[in-house]
Chain A
Amino acid sequence: MSSHLARAASRIRRSPYQTTAAVSIMTMTLFLACAFFLLAAGSQAILRYFETRPQVNAFFTTDYTPSPGQVEKVKSQLVATGKVDSVKFVSKDDALTIYKELNENDPLLLEAVTAQMLPASIEITAKNPADLKPLADSLKSVEGVADVRYAEDIVGRLSKWTSSVRAIGVSLVSIHIFITFTIIMLIIGIKVANRRDEIALLQLVGATPGYIAAPFIWEGLLYGLSGAVIAWSIAYLVLLYSTGFLVGFLAGIPILPIPVVFMLEVLAGTIALGALVGGLGGLLAVRRYLKA
């Protein structure tokens, strides 16, 4: 095995331009695969987060401030239904405090906003996710309520988004994998054609097809491995760089930072995909020269 690997490495070294082309296309495809996988996994995690939090938010209009009496009345009506786990009133001042916490790193955003610009709201946690819709319907009729949002609504939208990300990702990555596979096959195919006399001689001295094919398969595997490591490193660096921004954007949804173990699993998957594309490309490139 080591002699085949050494021979493959030597052939790679001797053709720097072909190697650059092969590793570049492999890197681009695997980066796309990594990026879409992380996006789909992130969407899925957000979806799960909302699915496990049966919450309804009723927002009052920004120019309306409910009286303490009205708030207490609404609270008691909700508790009386027996479907509510907790009810919390968020005043305009509370909303401003939350807004300031979320945007503490951005003074410009803080300066522009006052409590009067933010809506007061009522946050209700239901005992059962199935009760979210009737609770939301009852809140729509409360005086001054402009908008009612609940998890089922968000979950539905997120589900569509996640499905779209998955579908676009699978299509785009599949097309790129096909292109990469073809290019790897072409590059290794050129090398095979250049060595057809050597292959004929190896066959004549009794080399098995596996022996002849091994260095070409290793070459493909090395392209896959290099592309995978580079693509994963770029994806991880981009993710680490954007973590600060994403934490603010996701406003309290605890999916960041991504655990290192998970990223290592992504690396393993990327290497496996790269090795499959490269190795198979190498095998198919040499196969037609191995027919007895």
Chain B
Amino acid sequence: MITAQRLTKKFGDISAVIDLTLSVAPGEFVFLTGPSGSGKTTFLRLITRDLRPDSGSLVVNNHDLAKLKNKDLPVLRREIGTVFQDFKLLADRNIWENVALPLEVRHLPKDQVDKAVKIALELVGLTSRTSLFPAQLSGGELQRAGLARAIVGKPKLILADEPTGNLDPKTARTIVKLLKDIHAELKTTILMATHNADIVNLYSQRVVSLDKGKLVHDNPKGKYE
């Protein structure tokens, strides 16, 4: 699913990711941990090719990102669902429209979009909030909407970048449980960046730890270190 070989990304003199070699198999659930500035977000942005590496190779869903043409970029990104710490919901669209966005850009028929959005909203328990706008929802509801948007297109890979960072502990656990349920039900590969030790330690999952851009631990059933 994801194969990184000696991946390096610098911003000027600052190295965000250094010589990172890592593989994630299809269907895996991986916690990507590390303190702020350890390179978690940069690695996720390299996977979506929001950034280009300075050196090394990265293959995602059989797409060699170094050889991927710009015109094929939407194809890669439609195979990836992304969940953000700050939700990134569009303020002038209601929850239904926000969740439908990944399907709308694919020009799918309306009945197909409606069916998929309904299923995604049922999965995250937001069917009663569909006509509300983001400003009218709580943080937990917003993140559930973000999650519904990430899964609505049935992606092969979900990248969650600190999805619990803006939530209280209880809501954070609910969101991670939702991610775990989605993983169990849809068999989607999930890579979740977090520095929430409680959540990482709650589940016995593979934990990949970064520090100052370097891979420091990769434990199949690890704890937060």
Task: Tell me how far the C-beta of A219 lies from the nearest C-beta in chain B, rounded to whole angstroms.
Answer: 15
Q: Would A211 and B105 count as touching, CB distance under 8 A?
A: yes
Distance (whole angstroms) from the CB of A204 to the closest CB of chain B: 6
Residue of B82, B90, B104, B106 touching A204 (CB-CB under 8 A): B82
Query: Is the C-beta of B221 less than 8 angstroms from some C-beta in chain A?
Result: no
Summarize B's interface: helix, strand, loop or mixed.
Answer: helix
Which residues does chain A contribute within 8 Å of B102, judged by CB atoms? Answer: 205-206
Query: In this assembly, does A197 line the interface, its C-beta being within 8 Å of a C-beta of chain B?
Result: yes
Partner of A205, one of B50, B70, B75, B105: B105
> In the complex the two chains form, what is the Cα distance from A204 to B153 in whole Å?
13
Q: Cβ of B82: which chain A residues have Cβ within 8 Å of it? A: 204-205
Q: Take A292-B70, A292-B73 as given contacts and tell me if A204 and B105 are in contact as well, using a CB distance cutoff of 8 Å.
A: no
Cross-interface CB contact of B101 among A202, A208, A292, cutoff 8 Å = A202
Q: Is the CB of B105 within 8 A of A202?
A: yes
Closest residue of A by beta carbon distance from B71: A208
Residue B187 interfacial (CB < 8 Å): no
Cross-chain contact B101 with A205 (CB below 8 angstroms)? yes
Interfacial chain A residues near B49, Cβ < 8 Å: 292
Alpha-carbon gap, A205 to B75, bound state (A): 10
Judge whether A205 and B90 touch: CB under 8 Å: no
B78 and A204 contacting across the interface, CB-CB below 8 Å: no
Q: Per-residue 0/1 for B42-57: is the Cβ within 8 Å of any A Cβ (1 yes, 0 no)?
A: 0000001110000000
Q: Please tell me if B169 contacts chain A, counting CB pairs below 8 Å.
A: no
Interface string of A203-224 (1 = CB under 8 A from B): 1111110010000000000000
A204–B101 touching, CB < 8 Å: no
In the complex, residue of chain A having the shortest beta-carbon distance to the beta carbon of B81 = A205
Is B106 a contact partner of A206 (Cβ separation < 8 A)?
A: yes
Interface size on A, residues (CB 8 A): 13
A291 nearest in chain B by CB position? B70
Q: For the complex, is B77 an interface residue (Cβ under 8 Å from A)?
A: yes
A267 to B157, CA, bound (A): 53
Binary interface profile of A, 124-154, with partner B (CB < 8 Å = 1, else 0)? 0000000000000000000000000000000
Contacts of A198 in B (CB 8 A): 90
From A3, A197, A206, A211, give the contact of B77 (CB < 8 A). A206
B88 within 8 Å of A by Cβ?
yes
Asked if A168 is at the interface (CB within 8 A of a chain B CB), the reply is no
CB distance from B201 to the nearest CB of A (A): 30
Asked if A201 is at the interface of the complex by the 8 Å CB criterion, the answer is: yes
Give the residues in chain A near B149, CB-CB below 8 Å.
205
**Could you give, for residues 171-211 of chain A, a 1 whenever the CB lies within 8 Å of some chain B CB and a 0 otherwise?**
00000000000000000000000000110011111111001
| CB-nearest residue of chain B to A10 | B92
* Chain A residue at minimum C-beta to C-beta distance from B98: A201
Is the pair B78, A206 in contact by a Cβ cutoff of 8 Å?
yes
Question: How far is B73's CA from A204's CA once the two chains are assembled, in angstroms?
Answer: 9
The distance in angstroms between the C-alpha atoms of A37 and B153, with both chains bound, is 53
B74 at the interface (CB under 8 A from A): yes
CA distance A219 to B73 in the complex (A): 26
- In the bound complex, residues from chain B placing their C-beta under 8 Å from that of A206 are 74-78, 102, 105-106, 153
User: Which of chain B's residues 177-212 have a Cβ closer than 8 Å to chain A?
Assistant: none
Chain B residues with CB below 8 A from A201, complex form: 88, 90, 101
A: residues with CB less than 8 A from B are: 3, 197-198, 201-208, 211, 292
Q: Spell out B's residues near A (CB within 8 Å).
A: 48-50, 70, 73-78, 82, 88, 90, 101-102, 104-106, 149, 153
Task: Add 13 more A-B contacts to A3-B104, A205-B82, A208-B74 (CB < 8 A).
Answer: A197-B88, A198-B90, A202-B101, A203-B73, A205-B102, A205-B153, A206-B75, A206-B76, A206-B77, A206-B102, A206-B105, A207-B105, A292-B49
Query: Mind listing 22 A-B residue pairs with CB under 8 Å?
Result: A197-B88, A198-B90, A201-B88, A201-B101, A202-B105, A203-B77, A204-B48, A204-B50, A205-B78, A205-B82, A205-B101, A205-B102, A205-B149, A205-B153, A206-B75, A206-B76, A206-B77, A206-B78, A206-B105, A208-B74, A208-B105, A292-B73
